[in-house]
Amino acid sequence: MTAHDPALQTARVPPAGPAEAEAGAVLAIDLAAIEANWKKLSSTTVPVECAAVVKADGYGCGLEQVTAKLAKAGCRTFFVADVAEGRRVRATSPASAIYVLNGLMPGTAQSFADASLRPVINSTTELAEWDAFVNMKAWRGGAALHVDTGINRLGITVDEAVAIAPRIQSEHHGITLLMSQLACSEIPDHTMNDKQIRVFREIRIMYRGVPSSLANSSGIFLGGTVYCDLVRPGAALFGVNPTAGRANPMRAVVELKARIIQVRSLKRGETVGYGAAWTAGRPTRLAIIAVGYADGFLRSAGAAKHKEAAGVIVNGKRCPIAGRVSMDLFAVDVTDLPEGTVRRGDLATLIGDGLGVDDLAASMGTIGYEVLTNLGRRYHRVYKNA
């Protein structure tokens, strides 16, 4: 793959990051694929509303670009992690409902009102502070109430939810969404799923008339009993497989091609990289790739226990990583490719051409979420199909 691959020259919008010729890698993000994934999930859950979780800079794909594309496609509700992300979504999509999942930090209520954001209330302490602000300012922007049904991170307890339920009889109770978070939705037969669905169903009865939400990306594939009034996919929008162990129903979104900056030869018995962790068992040719863990290509990709799944694609062939991934570089064994076919300036495929985000994650001993949210800022970014 050359640095002037025509597939990367089509359907471009203004790129981000360093200039292509100066960058260690080119990251192409297909916004049409994100839209198609949202529409697929939305059509699966009709008539239930399909929101979009765009936290962590749109799962590493660009918060503004992703939000603009999904809002244009018809998405009306977005979820972010914090107020700063909420402001960015508000600037991009002025009419949308925006929920802030990490809730109300002490003394920040006015920030929510200023940007017309809705906090996800995760404790009775937060609720008391929010109520005090709402009563003082007569704010009517609304908030979500998060009930912990078993994940044991954030959220009020079930008993607290029961105690709070009578407030919905008041005209301005301020709860615009009742929600909970599934702990094991990616494991369809896990007993936690049925337990949480049952508990949340009982809580919903007490909050009749308030829209509710339980299903995340994988939760959508558990079926209609999880849909409630709103589903909130995140990772699946960006191509991560929400159905572990089965074929991925989502379209691939990202393509990452990294520059080869040197091809060098080793004698049998010579070592590569820090710690001399890899030894050439034969005369070897290496391609040195201008990407490292500072770019989100995790150091664990070079770990021995993951070698069976590790590798990148060079000239259409899967080639293994040789040695440790360092901050800015790693080496790939290209000995089995015809001599002279791998050259300085060529691009090797780290994600794409059949090597998916989840495949790369497996080679690193992690999950697609971590790969996406660590996509490097030193990449030349190309947004396709805006």
Q: How many CB atoms lie within 10 A of CB 24?
A: 21
Burial per residue of 202-240, b for 16 or more beta-carbon CB atoms within 10 angstroms, e otherwise? ebbeebeebbbbbbbbbbbbbeeebbbbbbbbbbbbbbb
In single-letter form, the type of residue at position 278 comes to W
Please state, in angstroms and rounded to a whole number, the distance separating the CA atoms of residues 96 and 111: 17
Question: Contact at 8 Å (CB) between 31 and 65?
Answer: yes
Query: Given 72, 137, 274, 317, which residue is catalytic?
Result: 274
Query: Given 39, 55, 69, 383, which residue is catalytic?
Result: 55
Which residues 6+ apart lie within 8 Å of 294 measured at CB? Answer: 327, 328, 376, 378
Q: Please confirm, yes or no, whether 55 is among the known catalytic residues.
A: yes
DSSP letters of 143-205?
EEEEB-SS--SSSB-HHHHHHHGGGGGSTT--EEEEE---SSTTSTT-HHHHHHHHHHHHHHH
Q: How far is CA 171 from CA 126, 174, 290, in A?
A: 21, 9, 60
- The H-or-E segment that residue 125 falls in is helix 124-137
Grouping H, G, I as helix, E, B as strand and the rest as coil, residue 280 is coil
How many helices (H) and strands (E) the chain has is answered by 11, 21
Burial per residue of 328-339, b for 16 or more beta-carbon CB atoms within 10 angstroms, e otherwise? bbbbbbbbebee
Which residues 6+ apart lie within 8 Å of 2 measured at CB? Answer: 345, 346, 347
Q: Which two tokens stand for residue 334?
A: 């290209």
Please state, in angstroms and rounded to a whole number, the distance separating the CA atoms of residues 279 and 197: 52
Determine what percent of the chain falls in helix, strand and coil, rounding each to the nearest 5. Answer: 35, 25, 45
DSSP 304: G
Residue 281 burial (C-beta neighbours within 10 Å; 0-12, 13-18, 19+): exposed
Q: Please confirm, yes or no, whether 267 is among the known catalytic residues.
A: no
Q: 47 preceded by cis ω (within 30°)?
A: yes
* Residues tagged active-site: 55, 274
